[in-house]
Structure formats: C-alpha cells, structure tokens
Amino acid sequence: MRIAIVTDAWDPQVNGVVRTLHALTAELTKRGHEVEVISPCQFRSLPCPSYPEIRLALAGPQAVGERLAAFGPEAIHISTEGPLGWAARRWCLAHGRHFTTAYHTQFPEYLARRSHLPAGVFWPYIRHFHAPSSGIMAATPTLREQLEAHGLTRLRPWGRGVDLEQFGQDIPPPDLFLQLPRPIQLYVGRVAVEKNVEAFLSARHAGSKVVVGDGPALARLQAQFPEVMFLGRQSGRALAACYAGADVFVFPSRTDTFGLVMIEALASGTPVAAYPVPGPIDVLTAESGCLAESLGEAISGALQLDRARCRAHGRSFTWEASTDQFLAALTPECPPQVQRELRAA
C-alpha cells in the first residue's frame, strides 16, 4: 500500500512523535509498503518560538497537495496539528480525500502550562482539527475516553513499541553510575516545563538523580540543582546503559499521551515511578510501576518491585503490534482490494 504521512515533527527533532514515526515507517517498509513522509525539511521554515529546534514549515495546501498528488497515496495519515497538518487537512477536504489523524500531544494541557490559561480554551482547536478525520488514532484507553468526552468519536487504538534489540537488562551500566550513591533515579526526555522535570528533582529520596536529555529548561535546572547529574542527550547503547543501570525510572510528566521512555525503561528491567495520570495509568501495572501523588512515595514503592517482571511487561510492547494497529486504523480508508488483502493477511 502507498501511505503518505504528513508530520510537523521530524528530524532533527528528538521526541516521542519522531521516534514513533521512524519506528513505524521502518516496520511498514519492511512489510513492503511504500511510505512517503512529508515533513518540514522539504519546505522553507521558521524556528518555533521558545523551541528553536522545532521548525514550522512555510507551506500551504497547494504545496503540500502537490507532493501528495505526485505520490498518489492510497491512504493519508496526518500526524500532527501543526502548519503541515493543517495544510494537508485543507487539501484533503478540498479534494474529497479521506484521511486519518493522531493525537500524539496533549496540546491543551501543554499550552495551558505555557500560557497560564485554562486548558479548556484550547480544546475547540483540537476538536476542529480532528473532527473531519475518518479515524483518530490515540495510544491509550484513557486518552480515547478523554477525546470522546470532547465530542471526538471516530477513535482508533494505536499503541507504541520498544526496540527489543536495543533495550535490555544485560547491558553494563555507565562507568559514572558505579561511582554514584544508590539508588540511582533516572529521568530521560526533554528538559522542558511541560515535562515537569523540576518535580522529580525536588522529590525527597536518598541516592542520586540523573537526567538524560536536552531542552530549553536545562540551563536553569542545572543552576538550580547542582547536585544532579545532567548527562545531556544520549542515544544507542549509551542510552540503553543508562536505563539498565538505574534503580528506578521517574516519569514526572502530567501531560504526556503515552511515554515511550517508560516502556524502554521497563524493557531494561527498571521499574517506573510516576503520577497517577493518563499515560502511566494505562501503561504501568502494579508489578511494573508505582503511582502516587508524591513522587518520593512512588520512587520508594517502585524500588520494591521485581525487575524481571518489569522487563517482561516492557517487552510486551512491540513495534510489530503497533504497526498492526496503525494499518487497521487505515483500513476503512483503503481501496476495497487493499481492505480484502489486509483482512486475509
């Protein structure tokens, strides 16, 4: 099948949306599908205010539509609610083309944190964008319930996966970890206000705190918490070693839709401490994570969990299963022959 994916989040950004789309396109290509990714790198762009590494494409429906028409997709998926997403949406509506969308980011809550306005102010934007979608992909049951409560009903499950070849327990920890007081409490992700990293760094618990990642709040938090080890952005085996070498993974965000880093930590055998909010309440089990309104309590509880059970739960999330769900969500918009082939597969 020829699948077009339109996204405002793409290289060189490093975030959950980009990593999800990379894993998805790799798996789709491996299965013989032809994928065209339309991203900001194909157009003139401007840096996003407060996030200069995020580029906002200067492209309208005609420019995006020309690329879509040239590719001739059998299915169109609009991944993000940014300039390219809106341009693709307008082109599809103008040309009578069905499309699916995804709800990757809790934009109302994210914008509320930055603007100090109620999240409800921003929900009309989300409803308007996704309303014409023939299938809105959302990662968890809680997220789908939330969207349905806001009047969006054509919802499809689309979970996430782990690179099981990269993340595992039999990886030596970084040399630095051998010198740190235990337990080692790890955070991996963007260092930004919406990730609530400060709540983790302020949590009272003996041991060492380690932050892996980069972002606009990094310099401020380094100055505010000099005792914390900030390792910057890590990838590949170095990142896997951080996960495997930590005693507990702390996920302080209250606004994420899923949290890829949680299942990567779990697949490495590391239990998770988090707030009881959407994302963690769907991903974690009593055997793999501890949820509490006090992160200190969550950390203490997670440290009591069995690492083998954590690893087994983390390894139950695969990109193969995620891709199956993605294709199933596209199925209603495929030509009849493709629908029959998918059902027979």
pLDDT digits (tens, 9 = 90+) for 253-289: 998 989 999 999 999 999 999 999 999 999 999 999 9
What values do phi and psi take at 92, rounded to 5?
-60, -45
The secondary structure of 23-59 as a DSSP string is HHHHHHHHTT-EEEEE-GGGS-EEEETTEEEEEEE--
Whether 222 contacts 278, CB under 8 Å? no
Residue with tokens 């040399």: 175
The average pLDDT across 92-115 equals 87
What does the pLDDT look like over 214-234, one tens digit per residue? 999 999 999 999 999 999 999
Please say whether the beta carbons of 210 and 228 come within 8 A. Answer: yes
pLDDT of residue 34: 97
129-151 pLDDT tens trace: 999 999 999 999 999 999 999 99
- Whether the per-residue pLDDT at 121 is higher than 70: the answer is yes
pLDDT of residue 343: 45
Q: Which residues of 248-274 are buried (b: 16+ CB within 10 A; e: fewer)?
A: bbbbbbbbbbbbbbbbbbbbbbbbbbb
pTM above 0.85, yes or no: yes
pLDDT digits 0-9 by tens, 42-68: 998 887 776 667 778 889 999 999 999
Average pLDDT, the chain: 92
Query: pLDDT at residue 342 above 80?
Result: no
For residue range 284-336, list pLDDT tens digits in order: 999 999 999 999 999 999 999 999 999 999 999 999 999 999 999 995 444 44
| Model pLDDT, residue 334 | 47
Q: Please report the domains of the chain, with CATH numbers, ordered by start residue.
A: 2-161+318-344 (3.40.50.2000), 175-314 (3.40.50.2000)
pLDDT band at 210 (very low <50, low <70, confident <90, very high): very high
Flag whether pLDDT at 156 surpasses 70.
yes
Q: Which pLDDT band, with edges at 50, 70 and 90, does 341 fall under?
A: very low
| 7-49: pLDDT as tens digits | 999 988 888 899 999 999 999 999 999 999 999 999 988 877 7
Q: Are 99 and 156 in contact (CB under 8 A)?
A: no
